[in-house]
Structures are given as structure tokens and as C-alpha cells.
Structure 1
Amino acid sequence: MLGLFPALALLGALATPAGTSRTCPDCSLLGNCTERTCPHAQDSCLFSQMQLENGTLIKNGSCVSPRECREGVYALTYGPHSSFWVTMACCDNCSQVTQPEAGPNGQPNGMKCHYCSGDKLAPCDSTRVMNCTGHQTVCVTLNGTWSGGSPQILKGCATPDFCKLQVNTTLGLETSGFHLMTGPECNYGPPTPQPEKRGAN
């Protein structure tokens, strides 16, 4: 199972000097949020919510410049009981941002993807195929790290927003989210059949 617990550090936020009237949520690991004032050069609020595979919901805000305020819903299922999602929204009133309906509990949508997870020492070349559900309509392979840890590979059903991400993008806060070492590999069609592996004689 992928070690997602380092992502709990997602809430670690640096104090921001006052400069404008724009505020942004600053949340603790317990989910308690206060408002902090953003500096003049970073007068937009990027609000992130992230749900780990164990159901833990992490949320926090980040003061950013308007050009850094990107939005999207990123949901990935890389096994029958292994999934996570991140939603990022630019908001004036972040308390009104709702959780996405992009998880793995929706109805099958007809898409099928190979799925697996692992590290660089155990290549993720699974022949296992899963049925995608809900808004997860593309097959995605991600190469990256959690909180600067060891390289990880995730492969499975995902929402199309993943395919817009660039190399070196971080899902969540820069200091502790999932950092992409390469751009996402996306496939909008059915999975390519792979030859069965045979044991040594």
C-alpha cells in the first residue's frame, strides 16, 4: 500500500505578513481553521482539500499570486480500495467550497484501466484491469514523490484534469503534496492487452 501518511504535512503553512484585506484559511491537522491576511503580491487564495485512502480529509489555504491560482479536481483510483483526491479552488469565501463528487463510488462509465502502485525498484507494469466509475474517464500513470520521499508510481482511473498537469507540478501545497517528477501519461482509450508473464522453467 502506498505510504500516503506523509501527506498529512499538507497543512504545514508558513505565517504570512499582512498587506491586503484578502484572507485565506490556515488549517490545523485537527481541521480547525483560522483566517490569515495575504500579502499584497499574493492577493489570491488557493484552497486545497485532499482525501487520503484511509478517509482522512486534509484542507488548507495558500496565499498566491493570481497567475498561480489554478483550479481543478484530481481524483485517482489505483486499486480496488486505493484512491485519493485533491480539489483546488480559487475562492473569495473558501468556506463555501464543497467536496467534489469525483471519487470511486460512482457508477461504471465504461472506461477500463490497468492499475497498480509501487516504487522505482518494483516497476508498475500490472496486467490487472479495473472498471472506472463516475468522472474518472481516463487512464493515468503518475511518477512522483510524497513530501520529498522515495519515487512512487501510481496507475489507474483518473479525472481528466490530471492530463493538464505539467512536470514539477505539486498536487496540494508545494512543501508536502504529491510532486510530479514527469508529466502524467494519459490514455483515453481501452487498455492495451499485455502478454502474460510466465515463470521460469
Structure 2
Amino acid sequence: MMKALLSASLLLVLLSPVLPLDCRYAYNGTGMTYNGYLKTTCDWKKQSCVAGVLRTNIMKPQVQLSNKCSPSSSCLSGHYSFTAADDKFFEMKKYCCKTELCNDATLSFPDRNMLTENGLQCPACFSKGKEECKSEKTINCLENETQCVVFKGSLSRALFEEHSFTFQGCGTTDFCALRKNGRGVTGMGSFLLLVIQESCYNASRISH
């Protein structure tokens, strides 16, 4: 009798529907502040909450801040950034979690002028379009961008404005792991970064 009751209880647990996850929701397409959060209930395809911030000037200077539900398969916490020639850059931070209303952080970036050099350097170039650029100079790397990157891909917004580009420059280890982890696409809000080719190596010390 006891075994039957235990089996029935286990079956009920297995058959019980998984409760949907509640996440914080907020969005700002022009800055890095919120007036407040809403609560949103995720659908069954989205089992994670994410807090994120993105800043780039690949198209033109733009910032987006977003807290919302996310598919777990496309949510990977990290700091994805690069700096290329002509002061071109891309920065994105993501924090992913899987508990109720866990994404209540408001992520941000310091002013670009406040970023400090880290004593490393990399060959640098930037070119619009699909033709690979050739490095003719070096740039000093900033903050935790410790890898030299050779990149080919595109950045699109809302799936309409697609800008193909290639660059060489400095990048973070998280950015360099995108291709290694089999993630050829990343993004946040209305931005989507497609990684076609990416190779990285350790940046060299600046010689004095």
C-alpha cells in the first residue's frame, strides 16, 4: 500500500505542469536608466530572466537597456566587447538567471572617456562591407579587453538595418568565446550580432 502511494505521488509530481517563470521587464532604447520595472510572465520557450545593456557606434552611437524573459539557450552571462580602429566599438553585458524576478539589476557602462588602458596592444583596422581590412597600425587595449581579435560579421537592428563589417582590434575573452562555444549569433534588445569569422590570440605588452 505504501509503495503504491509513493508511486502515485511521484507520478503526480512528474505530471504536474511546470509553473511559468516571472521576470522583471523594462526597456530603454536611448539610455542607461529606468523609471521602474514591471513583472512579466514568461512563456514556456523562455526559462531564463536576463538583464542586459548594449552600447555601440558601429552604425551610429546607440545605447539599449533591457530586462526581460529569455530562452536559456541564447542567454549566457558575460561581458562581450571589442575596440577597433577609428574608435569603433561594441559593448554588451548580460546577466542571466532562473529564479523568480531575479533580473532586477540595472547594468551600465562607464563613460568611454573614463576607460583606462591596460598596458596591452593589438593590430587594428576597421572596414565596412565584407572585404577584410588590413592592419597598418596598433591600438592600446582598454580595461579587460586582453585579446587581439580578427573578426568578420554583421550587426543588424530590428532585422532591417544590417551593417556588414570586418575589424582587427582588442576584445574580451567572453567576446572571443562566442565562436568557440558554437554561438555564431548574439545580441540584446533589437540588436543582433552575427559572427561569421572570429580568431583571437593574447595581446602583447606595450614596449616602452
> Aligned letter for 1:130?
I
Q: CA separation of 1:103/1:187 partners in 2, compared to 1, >3 Å: closer, same or farther?
A: farther
Encode CA deviations 1:123-164: one digit per residue, 9 max, x unaligned: 311211011121111111221111162421122111111121
Cα distance in 2 between the residues matched to 1:56 and 1:35: 26
> What is the Cα-based RMSD across aligned positions, in Å?
3.0
Aligned residue number for residue 49 of structure 1 = 53
Identity %: 20
Aligned residue number for residue 118 of structure 2 = 109
Q: Contact between 1:75 and 1:102, CA under 8 Å: does it hold in 2?
A: no
> Aligned letter for 1:82?
K
Encode CA deviations 1:17-42: one digit per residue, 9 max, x unaligned: xx724124242535666442201342
Aligned residue number for residue 130 of structure 1 = 139
User: Which residues of structure 1 form unaligned runs of 5+?
Assistant: 1-18, 192-201
Cα distance in 1 between the residues matched to 2:185 and 2:76: 11
* Stretch of structure 1 that moved more, 139-148 or 48-57: 48-57
Cα distance in 1 between the residues matched to 2:71 and 2:166: 31
> Aligned letter for 2:132?
P
Cα distance in 1 between the residues matched to 2:189 and 2:110: 24
Cα distance in 1 between the residues matched to 2:113 and 2:199: 20
Aligned residue number for residue 20 of structure 2 = 20
Encode CA deviations 1:83-142: one digit per residue, 9 max, x unaligned: 220011114433324325696743322211111211345431121101112111111122
SS at match of 1:162: helix
Greater strand percent: which structure? 2
Work out which of the two has the higher radius of gyration on C-alpha atoms and give 1 or 2: 2
| Correspondences of 1:109-188 after superposition (within 5 Å) | 109-120=118-129, 122-147=131-156, 149-166=162-179, 169-173=184-188, 176-182=191-197, 184-188=198-202
Q: Contact between 2:23 and 2:68, CA under 8 Å: does it hold in 1?
A: no
Give the CA deviation at 1:64.
2.8
Aligned length: 172
Q: CA separation of 1:181/1:174 partners in 2, compared to 1, >3 Å: closer, same or farther?
A: farther
Q: TM-score scaled by structure 2? A: 0.68
Greater helix percent: which structure? 2
SS at match of 1:125: coil
